[in-house]
Amino acid sequence: MSTKPKSFAIDLEWVIRFLVSAIFILSALGKVTDHASSVVSLGQLFALPYTIAEITVIWWSVVEVGLVILVWKQSLARIILTVPLALLGVTLFSYWRGLNCGCFGSLPYLSQFSFGGHLLLLAGMFLGMHYLTASFKAVKINEDDQRFKTLHWTGLAGIAMMVSALLTLPFTSSDSQLKISTQNETVDRATVEAAIANHNAVIIDTRPDFQYKLGHLPGAINIPYDNNNLPELIDKYALKNQALIVYCSSAHCNAAELLAEKLRELGCKMVSVYPGGWEEWERVSGREGDGMK
């Protein structure tokens, strides 16, 4: 009976172990090198007191190092598959709330992961770890057996997804976003506060409607950057003749820059971008917006 090619199996497993380990190590490193930012992000996301968030960040960093050790064991228990599923839940929740999960701290490139890139990375980790948990049981399976072929392609798919997610990073990094943002005048939080207090600018929230309803800057109106009725809204709010301050979720979001460009193209002359966005506003002020349209 033909058996699974041992040397090829070892190579495939090694690549998966290396990729998964690298992701966990970089994640832990990001939390250690930018500890305060990760604590604040986690605290915001789950409404945790600073001390509890700090303990959670330290605990998870240690867990990630432990997971690296487990990944290099000869065999893995299937319970480890709950890790990428749990991380998927955190990613979806952070996207729903319009906040940064702080998963990679402020490491170059890695902190710029898009939502789609995160999903691709976690899907690849799940498939790769599934391969690792099942491969040692398949050593004696016939090479022509459908179960072996399925497992083999599962491992390859996991590698492809993780590599593809990492390859998307240069295209979603802050460097690429700067090409857009440098064309727009930016304002800091103090300027936004003054504008709100003096009622001398219209504050525009570019996030999706459900995120806006969860909380927004006081007095802000909601115009998602991909809104199809922008000319009508410009007329409705008389935006052409007013100073506008546009913001989105955080510094890692370019929706504000995109909408600012559209507004300028449609005749709005005084358009500024608040790059810190909702995340900075919550973090610094501790407020959650007025919650009203």
pLDDT band at 170 (very low <50, low <70, confident <90, very high): low
Q: Count CA within 13 A, CB hemisphere, residue 16.
A: 32
Is the pLDDT confidence value at 173 over 80?
no
What gap in Å lies between CA 83 and CA 177, rounded to an integer?
Answer: 31
Give the E-state strand segments of 105-177 in sequence order. Answer: none
Q: Does 105 lie in the same domain as 184?
A: no
Is 143's pLDDT higher than 90?
no
Inter-residue long-range contacts of 132-138, CB under 8 Å, 24+ positions, other chains counted: 132/13, 132/16, 132/17, 132/20, 132/71, 132/76, 133/75, 133/76, 133/77, 133/78, 133/80, 133/81, 135/9, 135/12, 135/13, 136/74, 136/75, 138/4
Is residue 5 very low, low, confident or very high in pLDDT (cuts 50, 70, 90)?
A: very low
Residue 113's Cβ-side half-sphere holds a number of Cα atoms within 13 Å equal to 28
Range(s) of the domain holding residue 79: 6-172
Same domain, yes or no: 211 and 260: yes
Q: Position of tokens 């004696």?
A: 140
Among 172, 204, 220, give the residue marking a domain's end. Answer: 172
Residues 209 and 164 in one domain: no
How confident is residue 103, by pLDDT bands cut at 50, 70 and 90?
A: confident
How far is the CA of 68 from the CAs of 18, 62, 163, 214, 216, in angstroms? Answer: 9, 10, 18, 37, 39
Q: What is the pLDDT of residue 2?
A: 41
Q: Are residues 105 and 185 in the same domain?
A: no
Provide the pLDDT for residue 237: 92
Domain count, the chain: 2
Specify whether 75 is located in the same domain as 90. yes
0.85 cut: is pTM over it? Answer: no
pLDDT tens-digit readout, 191-231: 999 999 999 999 999 988 888 888 899 999 999 888 889 99
Per residue in 240-293, pLDDT (tens digit) is: 989 999 998 876 677 888 899 999 999 998 999 998 888 888 877 654 444 433
Lowest mean pLDDT: which of 126-130, 138-142, 173-177, 232-236?
A: 173-177
Stretch among 4-13, 140-149, 168-177, 196-205 having the lowest mean pLDDT: 168-177
pLDDT greater at residue 3 or residue 154: 154
Claim to verify: residue 77 and residue 213 sit in the same structural domain: no
More confident residue, 172 or 16: 16
Residue where one domain finishes, among candidates 131, 146, 172: 172
- Residues 166, 222, single domain; the answer is no
What pLDDT score was predicted for residue 1? 40
Together in a domain, 68 and 186: no
Provide mean pLDDT across the span 138-163: 77
Q: What is the mean pLDDT of the chain?
A: 80
Query: Residue 244 forms beta bridges with which residues?
Result: 202, 271
State yes or no: pLDDT of 144 exceeds 70.
no
